[in-house]
Amino acid sequence: MGKSMASAGVIAAEHAAPRKRFLSKAWRTRLIGAVPPAAAFILFVGLWEIIGRQFDIPVFLLPKPSDILNAAIENWDGLLGALLTTASETVVGFLLSVVIGVGAAIVLASSKLVERSVYPYAIVLQTIPIIAIAPIIVIWFGAGTNAIVFITFLIGFFPMLSNTLIGLNSTDHNMKNLFFLYNATPLQTMWRLRLPAALPYIIAGLKISATLSVIGAIVGEYMAGLGGANGGLGYAITVAATRLKTPYLFACGLSASILGIGFFLLVNQLSKWLLSSWHESELAKEN
């Protein structure tokens, strides 16, 4: 009788044990790590609200967080439409910068002569202020989505080109000699050795280009955007500034920031998926 009761107790304990593990160790670590920044955010917003109410600061100078929230709710349809417009322009420009940037880096890395001949002009293109050439882009492509996407592409292109080229040129020489001994063609060496070795550098370029693309889209909307229902966040910010709608201006700016953070987090997740099984940068995070 005693043995059967002990066995029943062991079985009950075994079934009860998993219930205590409500969250995995990884999720508990993430939640614990999120507490300090969340607490700092709540403290900052709370102090901002209290100071705004205490000193009665005019809304058009410095709106309180509650004013910004109310402005976002009141203009939700227009804000959401502008956010989606900017997001679509950002995605197209970002994808173009990735495809063309990586492709151009592969071409440059395939020949030192081509790299020495062309790469300096890519640097020169990067140093030209985008605002200076924006009118030319509008003349070429016309005002609207095409010009905005091209401006977004230009801003995100150089980080992809530069980082990918550095990665391709950083391949281990011993591995390249090994491929040479096995009579690998230049295409095989590029596809099976140099590109995988450059993947961490490409991911770094993606993280930079993802955030810059949001900036590029908004700058493009300032210079070449359409107004009305087709306008993006850049147009909404311009209208809010001219009409002294400061709370809505803050709401648009915060929406642009959230959009940039979202793109960065997506690229960061892609980095974990591609690198977590073999590269030290992500292995250290997992451990």
224 near 234, Cβ under 8 Å?
no
Beta strands in 2-78 (DSSP E): none
- Taking a C-beta distance cutoff of 8 angstroms, is the pair 218, 231 a contact? no
What is the torsional sign of CA 229, 230, 234, 235? negative
Residue tagged 């591609």 (tokens): 274
DSSP state of 194: I
In angstroms, the CA 173 to CA 200 distance is: 18
Q: What is the pLDDT along the chain (287 residues), one digit of tens a residue?
A: 444 544 545 454 445 444 555 566 767 777 787 788 889 989 999 999 999 899 888 998 899 999 999 999 999 999 999 999 999 999 999 999 999 999 999 999 998 898 899 899 888 888 888 888 888 888 898 888 899 999 999 999 999 999 999 999 988 889 988 888 988 888 899 999 999 999 999 999 999 999 999 999 998 888 876 666 678 898 899 889 989 899 999 999 999 999 999 999 999 898 888 887 666 655 655 44
Q: Which two tokens stand for residue 75?
A: 């203009």
* pTM attached to this predicted model: 0.82
Spell out the domain ranges in the chain: 66-286
Instruction: Give the burial class of 91: count Cβ atoms within 10 A of its Cβ; 0-12 exposed, 13-18 middle, 19 or more buried.
Output: middle
- CATH number attached to the domain at 66-286: 1.10.3720.10
